[in-house]
Chains A and B, each alone.
Chain A
Amino acid sequence: MVGRKLKGATIGDWVIVLIMIGIILMCILPVLTVVANSLSDPGAIVRQQVTFIPRLEVLEDGGDRLFPIGARFDAYVDILSDSRFMRSLGWTIILTFIATIFSLVMTVLCAYPLTYDNLKGRGFITVAVIFTMYFQAGWIPTFVLYRDLGLLDNRWVLVLPGFISVFLLIIMRKFFLGIPDSLRESAEIDGAGPFRILARIYLPLSTPVLATVGLMYAVGRWNGFTDALWFLRSAPEWHPIQLVLFNILQGIVPIDPMDPGMAAAPGRSETVQAAAIVVAMVPILCVYPWLQKYFVSGVTLGAVKG
């Protein structure tokens, strides 16, 4: 932390830089591998020629080209014309949107009242809520409940039980507590009720925490599949993209046979799987760097005791 001048850089500084470059490569290279696989010729994969750059196969007769680098998009055409994959992709986008909105509304409705000092039973409610973070009933009792409620094989099972994450609730409540009481008090003197104060004072000041918490709900919904695996056993039409991808990777669901000879072509399933991975990963990778300052502040807020 001392001496930030570039010129004072010592050997130690450069060693740290080298370590960091190593870490960057370890994060990026696995992703590059999958991208390279998705753009390569299936034959090049079978011949073990694909590493981090997409390759078109070396021709047997014209094999003197050392770096036959290129890209072909057949795998993307295949995966994007697979009706089941595309349906699930569309559904997951809608689902992520709906789940995030509902969760944000419910979390605000829970966090805001808990900032009132004079709320009756506030201590008890807080303890009861936080208790659920450290002790859950378990999957089977939950499964039995959804069975009794008729939520099994119902698409709303992917939305309703995830309304409030206690961890994100704590983050939001802490942010609300940081808004000066004097603002609320002066609004109360002017005769504003709690809903009006929430809408006119708290929410406009809370953009950072709404972005943080919304991002975390959205990422969780986009990446999650446990609930679908447990509760949507007979409703594959509502399976989110991760579960469909899981089935593709496990070879359970073959890609639509657009071309009858496709399944037989060696290396073809690898390129299509790689393309499916890229499609499922790209939306989040495009979004998260722009929201970095929000989630960093969110995690920091959640880590402070209180």
Chain B
Amino acid sequence: MLLLPIIFFLVFRYWPMINVLLAFKRNNVILPVMEVDWAAAWDVTMFGRDISIPWMANFERAFSHPPFREAVRNTLLFSVLDIAAGFPAPIILALLLNELKFKRFKKITQTISYMPHFLSWIIISGLAIRLFSPTAGTVNNIIYSWFGMSPIPVLTDPNHWVGMVVGLGVWRSVGWNTIIYLAAITAVSPELHEAAEADGASRLQRMWHITLPGIRPVIIILFILAIGGTMGADFERFMALQNNLVRSMSQVLPVYVFEWGLNNLQFSLAAAVGLFQNIINLVLLLGANVVVKRLGGQGLW
């Protein structure tokens, strides 16, 4: 019974890992990876000594490639902003939903807040254009006709655009991500709340001292996973929302791999960048896991 799944994982998940060797080979878009020659060495001066690392020429090229540096900077910037804005948001929303007394209203709110998660980034980019277009977008129509202000260049000014992308990221994920936290909150013992209330604890005090500590393990696990994605970015999100005027900010690593690998046929360079990204993410994930365990928390494993 396991035969088909095993073949699936070997062919579609492990076989490509052999092709990762392309990162250490010369660029060739036609020959099978095994027949391509190895790449040149990377000559670096480290600790005052000249060292030659074999096969690393693609990495040397990437690290000295200005668009690559820009892509790394943008990827890290968006990851930091996403975690800063998008990580606490569902926790706060879940705490508030949990305090909501009107059960039917709570259910309706939840259903509606899950909705953005089911929209593709293409559709969201369409919504964004209709909302923020400087000439006919709803938001700019409103600030023009109600407040007489000039349009805000959300789609075309790089700084505004970054804010919009982060905001849309929160918008899409906040409701969906409350599911896990709400499930964890229901596992917190109601007796603790009753005891605290009997002792005169206010609602905010109970949220802070009982509910939040109760869901701490879940928060930590999701935080480890978030850290493990720092060097990555959602390709579809940036592909859908980018435009030529914001290219300086919209180049993130997966977009770089797509444009330099597929559009410019630099397979080895792009494979090297992809490998770099995946290794950093794996190291960050394992590192965050170790740190959490050292601090006495429950890790992923």
Chain A interface (Cβ within 8 Å of chain B)? 1-4, 6, 8-9, 12-13, 16-17, 19-20, 23-24, 26-28, 30-31, 33-34, 37, 45-46, 48-52, 106, 109-110, 112-114, 125, 128-129, 132, 134-145, 148-149, 160-161, 163-164, 194-195, 198, 219, 222-226, 229-230, 233, 242-243, 245-246, 249, 267, 270, 273-274, 276-277, 280-281, 284-285, 288-289, 292, 296, 299-300, 303, 305
Q: Which residues of A contact B108 (CB under 8 A)?
A: 24
Q: Provide the residues of chain B in CB contact with A19, threshold 8 Å.
A: 96
Given A246-B122, A274-B130: A27 and B19 interface contact (C-beta under 8 Å)? no
Does the CB pair A281–B19 fall under 8 Å?
no
- Which B residues are in CB contact (< 8 Å) with A6? 101-102
Neighbouring A residues of B147 by C-beta, 8 Å:
none
Contact among B11, B138, B171, B193 with A1 in the assembled complex (CB-CB below 8 Å): B193
Q: Across the interface, which residues of B come within 8 angstroms of A28, CB to CB? A: 112, 115
Contact of A242 among B122, B138, B190, B254 (CB under 8 A): B122
A152 to chain B, nearest CB (A): 11
A299 touching B179, Cβ below 8 Å: yes
Chain B residue contacts of A223, Cβ below 8 A: 118-123
User: How near does chain B come to A10, taking the closest CB pair, in angstroms?
Assistant: 8
Binary A-proximity of B239-281 (CB < 8 A = 1, otherwise 0): 1100000000000001001100110000100110011011000
CB atoms of B118 and A219 under 8 A apart = yes
Are B105 and A17 in contact, with the CB atoms below 8 A? yes
Chain A residue nearest to B174 (CB atoms) is: A23
- Complex contact A46–B240 (CB within 8 A): no
Q: Is the CB of B136 within 8 A of A281?
A: no
CB of A24 within 8 A of CB of B20, answer no
- The 18 listed contacts between A and B (C-beta, < 8 Å) are A6-B101, A20-B109, A27-B171, A30-B130, A33-B131, A48-B136, A49-B141, A106-B5, A128-B14, A134-B285, A140-B22, A141-B19, A141-B274, A223-B123, A242-B120, A276-B126, A277-B123, A292-B114
Give chain B nearest CB distance to A287 CB in angstroms. Answer: 9
**A-B complex: 3 closest residue pairs judged by Cβ atoms:** A138-B274, A141-B19, A137-B16
Establish whether residues A145 and B4, one from each chain, have CB atoms under 8 Å apart when the complex forms: no
> Are the CB atoms of B8 and A135 closer together than 8 Å?
no
Residue with the greatest number of chain A CB neighbours at <10 A, chosen from B16, B125, B277: B16
Seed contacts A113-B2, A284-B119, A300-B180; 19 additional CB < 8 Å A-B pairs: A4-B103, A9-B101, A23-B112, A24-B109, A24-B112, A48-B140, A48-B144, A50-B141, A125-B2, A138-B274, A138-B278, A160-B12, A223-B123, A224-B120, A249-B122, A274-B130, A280-B122, A288-B118, A305-B298
User: Which of A27, A45, A46, A273 has most B Cβ within 10 Å?
Assistant: A27
Cβ of B18: which chain A residues have Cβ within 8 Å of it? 141
Residue among B97, B144, B179 facing the most chain A CB atoms (10 A cut-off): B179
Q: Is chain A's interface secondary structure helix, strand, loop, or mixed overall?
A: helix
Contacts from B to A (Cβ < 8 Å): 1-2, 4-6, 8-9, 11-20, 22, 32-33, 93, 96-103, 105-106, 108-116, 118-123, 125-127, 129-131, 135-136, 138, 140-142, 144-145, 171, 175-176, 179-180, 183-184, 190, 193-194, 197, 203, 218, 221, 228, 235-236, 239-240, 254, 257-258, 261-262, 267, 270-271, 274-275, 277-278, 282, 285, 298, 300
A140–B261 CB distance below 8 A:
yes
B261 and A139: CB pair below 8 A? Answer: yes
Contact (A246, B240) CB under 8 Å given A24-B112, A30-B131:
yes
Q: If the complex has contacts A51-B138, A138-B277, A140-B261, are A31 and B127 also in contact, measured as CB distance less than 8 A?
A: yes
Residues from chain B with Cβ under 8 Å of A46 in the complex: 135-136
Query: In the bound complex, do residue B274 and residue A132 qualify as a contact, i.e. CB atoms below 8 Å apart?
Result: no
Q: Are B218 and A303 in contact (CB under 8 A)?
A: yes
Contact across chains for B271 and A48 when beta carbons are under 8 A apart:
no
Docked-complex contact A137 and B20, CB < 8 angstroms: yes
Please measure, in the bound complex, the distance between the C-alpha atom of A217 and the C-alpha atom of B114, giving whole angstroms: 17
Closest to B225 in A: A134
Contact B197 A226 (CB under 8 A): no
Given A23-B113, A33-B127: A109 touches B2 (CB 8 Å cut-off): yes
Min CB–CB distance B229 → chain A (angstroms):
10
Residues of A within 8 A of B235 (CB): 226
Note all chain A residues with C-beta closer than 8 A to B285. 134
Contact A132 B179 (CB under 8 A): no
Asked whether, in the complex, the Cβ of A48 is within 8 Å of the Cβ of B145, the reply is yes
**Residue with the highest number of chain B CB atoms closer than 10 Å, among A161, A273, A280, A281:** A281
Q: Chain A CB within 10 Å — which of B13, B176, B262 has the most? A: B13
Given contacts A33-B131, A125-B2, A139-B254, contact A20 B100 (CB under 8 A): yes
**Is A138 a contact partner of B113 (Cβ separation < 8 A)?**
no
Which one of B119, B184, B239 lies within 8 Å of A281 (CB-CB)? Answer: B119
**How far apart are B7's CB and chain A's nearest CB, in angstroms?**
10
A4 to B176 Cα, complex, angstroms: 25
Of A20, A106, A270, A276, the residue contacting B136 (CB under 8 A) is A270
Nearest chain-A residue to B5 (Cβ)? A110
Task: Find out whether the CB atom of B123 lies under 8 angstroms from the CB atom of A134.
Answer: no
